[in-house]
Structure 1
């Protein structure tokens, strides 16, 4: 088992577009449905697997393109360290003082390491300067507990840790 890290920042309004954050229903709407509904289903079916928006269910990151992976680690400790580094990096931009508090951030990192240790996924989000939103995720892979049938999105795992992208 290994862990992939994901990071997304963007307008909260875009984050709230839940249709693009959830997989489409397995069957298209009936032919008798409105043309708008049929078209929206087609759009979501085409866009969900490739859109960079965080999925509503964390494990669905694994069906997204490999280019969205910000890092890969064999050990929970390394993945949790990356998570902590991202929290520290963005903390000055958090929407509230309470979210910036050091003990709170350390607690989130410790909790992330523990959850990854038993094979769970980690998902955390918070407001930056409004209207921006930050979403961080750590996803267990090969296999994932909630989606064991999904193959690893990374083709070449020889370079385990990829550098994190610079914040927008």
Structure 2
């Protein structure tokens, strides 16, 4: 098992495009559906795997391109430390004073280490200066507990660990 880190910042308006943050339905709409519905399904099917937007379900980061991985760690502590460093880096830009609280940020790191150590994923988001948003994710890989069928985007396999 290992962990991948992901970071996304951008306009809140773009983050809110849910259609590109969720996988398309497994079956296309029927042929007799409205042409715009069929076209939209094709667009989402093509875009979801490659768009840099954070997926609504954290494990789906694993189907995104390898270039979106910001770090890989074999131990949960290293991944949690990366999360802590990113939170500290962006904290001055958090819109909420409570979100910047050092004790709260330290607790998030401890919690992330525990969750990752048990094979779970971690995802945090925070509003930055308006209208921006920060999304951080740590995803357990090889296998992912929530979606074990997903393969490692970096090609790391169990026997390499």
What's the offset of the Cα at 1:151? Answer: 1.1
2:138 partner SS: strand
Aligned Cα root-mean-square deviation (Å): 1.0
Q: TM-score, normalised by structure 2?
A: 0.95
What's the counterpart of residue 137 of structure 1?
137
Q: TM-score, normalised by structure 1?
A: 0.91
Map residues 21-100 of structure 1 onto 2, 5 A cutoff: 21-100=21-100
Q: Distance in 2 between matches of 1:38 and 1:126?
A: 34
What's the offset of the Cα at 1:49? Answer: 0.3
1:9 partner SS: strand
Q: Distance in 2 between matches of 1:58 and 1:155?
A: 19
What's the offset of the Cα at 1:149? Answer: 1.2
Deviations 1:22-56 (A, max 9, x none): 00001111112111111110000000000000000
Q: Distance in 1 between matches of 2:156 and 2:69?
A: 12
Contact 2:115–2:122 (CA under 8 A) maintained in structure 1: yes
Q: Distance in 2 between matches of 1:2 and 1:42?
A: 33
What's the offset of the Cα at 1:156? Answer: 6.3
What's the counterpart of residue 164 of structure 1?
none
What's the offset of the Cα at 1:155? Answer: 3.2
Query: Which blocks of at least 5 consecutive residues in structure 2 are unaligned?
Result: none
What's the counterpart of residue 125 of structure 1?
125
Moved >4 Å (runs of 4+): none
